[in-house]
Structure 1
């Protein structure tokens, strides 16, 4: 995994997002990454098979304590489990 990101800019747009698969709104609806209920299966599959910045994204999500949505090919529950070790 890459080094820890600068968390002082946690609310700024992460630098890797210009290369992220989730920004391809022609192929996937951004709302799929933040569903109101259920598992974001479509977003997870899309991210896990097409995103080239998954590691950077996951590192950023863990460092900035993202508790909602799909980040780095993981759900909020999966990230919580990773934080617990």
Structure 2
């Protein structure tokens, strides 16, 4: 929601990288930094090598969406604790 509020969501989804669009490097870095700064320490491990907000968001989606294997394992682990 923070990225949407800051009008940076298109950098996370990749819409800012269209054929006719040239992304603003300043906004790109701001979007990426918001993803880094507003995540928990554990999430940093997934985004530390990301060069763009889209890359960071894609990595987080792979891990934390309900359909990912790692997400299922994490949910089971939480249930067993």
TM-score w.r.t. the length of structure 2 is: 0.31
TM-score w.r.t. the length of structure 1 is: 0.30
The structure with the greater share of residues assigned to helix is 2
